[in-house]
Amino acid sequence: MNKALIVLSGGQDSTTCLYWAINEFGRDNVSSLSFDYGQRHKIELEAAKKVSEIAAVAHEILPIDTFSALGGNALTDDIDVQDEADDNDADIDGSLSDSSLPNTFVPGRNLVFLTFAAAYAYQRSIKHLVTGVAQTDYSGYPDCRENTLSSLEQTLRLGMEYDITIHTPLMNLNKSDTVALAEKLGAMDAMAYTHTCYNGEQPPCGHCQACILRAKGFAEANRADPLIERFQFFSRNRNDKTNDE
């Protein structure tokens, strides 16, 4: 039977991919893998664990704490995340100048994640990797593009002599399509426990690039974000309690 491994960040997109894989391969054949790469916000890993529990799939965290030693980005270092997508315009041909990448870009991250995931999969006879990267609607990260992923797939096949496939079900979907897909796949219960905010805030900050894109997607899909609803529910309950006292 075909088995699949999801690279799970604990965010909206990889969670949608987890449910895509359950639908495609069957729950018993799906497992998830997260990376402790020195990210500032461990809340991502907690989200990945919780999402895996809700989806009832096995989950493991691999420690690869090296990116913070490389420095220079806002996800592992103590520097401010750039607000808004103010300088992320890709050229018409899809190429980007160096300066156009936001400081949330961690160079090499997806390449390393997928290489480790492939090695992990190899040891467990898993032949399908699933990742939530998309080349639409994002900050133009070059390691999320289709040509990067198909080239990496080819490299992994050659380098391990192993017939592995990288699935990217969200590659050409915009955020609102992704929300619609998550809804269709029954991922919304888990969505309430995902984490997207670049500032690591809970409830989400609402003004970082990640929060803005997420909110835009749910607004365009005409669907309330279960994550936001969860916090509204808690704060309502807290207020009710305070009023009772």
Work out the number of other CB atoms within 10 angstroms of the CB of residue 112. Answer: 17
Task: Give the x-and-dash track for 164-203 against Zn ion (CB under 5 A).
Answer: ---------------------------------x-x----
Under 8 Å between Cβ of 20 and 169: yes
Is 213 near Zn ion (CB under 5 A)? no
Residues 6+ apart with CB under 8 A from 154: none
Is 74 near Zn ion (CB under 5 A)? no
CB half-sphere exposure, 223, CA atoms < 13 A: 20
Tokens describing residue 192: 């309430």
Q: How far is CA 49 from CA 15, 43, 45, 172, in A?
A: 11, 10, 6, 27
Question: Which residue, chain included where needed, has tokens 């915009």?
Answer: 174
Is 211 near Zn ion (CB under 5 A)? yes
| Residue placing its CB nearer to Zn ion in the complex, 87 or 201 | 201
Is 111 near Zn ion (CB under 5 A)? no
| Residue placing its CB nearer to Zn ion in the complex, 20 or 141 | 141
Is 227 near Zn ion (CB under 5 A)? no
Give the shortest CB-138-to-Zn ion separation in angstroms.
15
The alpha-carbon radius of gyration of the chain (Å, integer) is: 18
Give the shortest CB-197-to-Zn ion separation in angstroms.
3
Which amino acid is present at 44? E
Give the shortest CB-168-to-Zn ion separation in angstroms.
24
Is 205 near Zn ion (CB under 5 A)? yes
Give the shortest CB-113-to-Zn ion separation in angstroms.
22
| Residue placing its CB nearer to Zn ion in the complex, 55 or 208 | 208
Under 8 Å between Cβ of 141 and 17: no
Positions that interact with Zn ion (CB under 5 A): 197, 199, 204-205, 208, 211
